[in-house]
Amino acid sequence: MSRWKPDAQGRLISAAIELFAEQGYEATTVAEIAERAGLTKRTFFRYFSDKREVLFSGSDELQRRWLEGMAAAPPDATALAIVVAGLDPVAEMFTERHDFARIRAAIVEANPELQERELIKLQTLAGAITAALVERGVSANAAMLAAHAGVTVFHVAFAHWVAQDDPTAFRRLIDESLAELRSVTAA
Amino acid sequence: MSRWKPDAQGRLISAAIELFAEQGYEATTVAEIAERAGLTKRTFFRYFSDKREVLFSGSDELQRRWLEGMAAAPPDATALAIVVAGLDPVAEMFTERHDFARIRAAIVEANPELQERELIKLQTLAGAITAALVERGVSANAAMLAAHAGVTVFHVAFAHWVAQDDPTAFRRLIDESLAELRSVTAA
């Protein structure tokens, strides 16, 4: 039997999140995750540098989808409308991952080091969105303000989404968060 | 002669920033900073856990001033107006520290680890502003959105202020950054 298995990464993530939910994040070892996924530790380390990275494996995809959504925005869209267009594919991605997101959110919430890492990932995302806006001809100031506003809208909607039961609510929560931002910043 | 000197902390900060400008941040040791300030290493460690902390010694004061300014906002001010009221004492504090801020900004810019620490400090600040708004009766959502908007406005203005020569421009740059945020988020 070949040691190669389809979607080894996906199986490692599922196994990890099952074990984190069953016995806690701290108590779970890489060996246990690999065993539960029916793979070796060596295979685990082909995909993740450590246990923590399993929790952040979605952030590259989040950024890629967000930027793809922005690229599809009409040429005459305002800076914030471009950023918000990125949230369509993001909402789609997250809707399929409500269970993962809820377990993950509880782990991150309980661990200051993971919270820091989460913040850095969000800032990196805001930086990539800013760069994509500037690339489209938006001024650096407006780009930075729109990017950070969009990431905060996402962050607020995400916190609500993991706190409630309906996986499909993410898109609606983003719209509510955006409406609230507009109301808060209205002169 | 007593080993106690008035404003040892201020002298250590001035000495450090002089040495960082002269010979670089990496090349400067705690022993050199203490010597330049006419103090001992032991005194240095009474105020700072390491060399890096000299660069972040202003963040507690920034937060304290920002929250004091918010406390002075009228009871009927909107969430964002309360946050912006906090920037009056902040602008005053920074106007006196343009040289320090410029040297510091160049050091942070060149060092990814310091950039991360800066981002975490800004997020901590946004958290404290959110909590102060909630305390005043603002909803958690509006508080988080207004706090992050305010911190982004500050961050954008700060980047412009350290890139130009007039120490007194900070307040005006904040107003410009705020106007741009309002324009970016207008429906």
Whole-number pLDDT of residue A4: 52
pLDDT of A23 over the 70 cut: yes
Report how far residue A101's alpha carbon sits from residue A6's, in angstroms, rounded to the nearest whole number.
Answer: 23
pLDDT of B77 over the 60 cut: yes
What is the residue-averaged pLDDT of chain A?
92
Tens-place pLDDT, residues B113-137: 898 888 888 988 999 999 999 999 9
pLDDT band at B13 (very low <50, low <70, confident <90, very high): very high
pLDDT of B187 over the 90 cut: no
- Residues 6 or more apart in contact with residue B187 via CB below 8 angstroms: A182
Asked if A31 is an interface residue toward chain B (Cβ–Cβ < 8 A), one would say no
Asked if A108 is an interface residue toward chain B (Cβ–Cβ < 8 A), one would say no
pLDDT band at B101 (very low <50, low <70, confident <90, very high): very high
Whole-number pLDDT of residue B18: 93
Whole-number pLDDT of residue B5: 55
Between chains, do A149 and B152 touch, taking CB under 8 Å as contact?
Answer: yes
> Which residues of B are less than 8 Å from A181 in CB distance?
145, 149, 185
Per-residue tokens: B115: 């950039």
- Residues 6 or more apart in contact with residue B69 via CB below 8 angstroms: B85, B86, B87, B88, B89, B90
Report how far residue A129's alpha carbon sits from residue A150's, in angstroms, rounded to the nearest whole number.
Answer: 9
Half-sphere exposure of B185 (CA within 13 A, CB side): 31
Whole-number pLDDT of residue B117: 87
Residue with tokens 């969105």: A129
Q: What is the percentage of chain A residues whose pLDDT exceeds 70?
A: 97
Asked if A113 is an interface residue toward chain B (Cβ–Cβ < 8 A), one would say no
Q: Average of pLDDT values for B171-186?
A: 93
Cβ atoms within 10 Å, residue A176: 16
pLDDT of B1 over the 70 cut: no
Whole-number pLDDT of residue B6: 65
Whole-number pLDDT of residue A5: 55
Whole-number pLDDT of residue A2: 42
Type of residue found at A103: I
> Which residues of B are less than 8 Å from A120 in CB distance?
116, 119-120
Between chains, do A142 and B184 touch, taking CB under 8 Å as contact?
Answer: yes
pLDDT band at A113 (very low <50, low <70, confident <90, very high): confident
Asked if B187 is an interface residue toward chain A (Cβ–Cβ < 8 A), one would say yes
A-chain residue closest to B127, CA distance: A119
Report how far residue A71's alpha carbon sits from residue B119's, in angstroms, rounded to the nearest whole number.
Answer: 27
Asked if A84 is an interface residue toward chain B (Cβ–Cβ < 8 A), one would say no
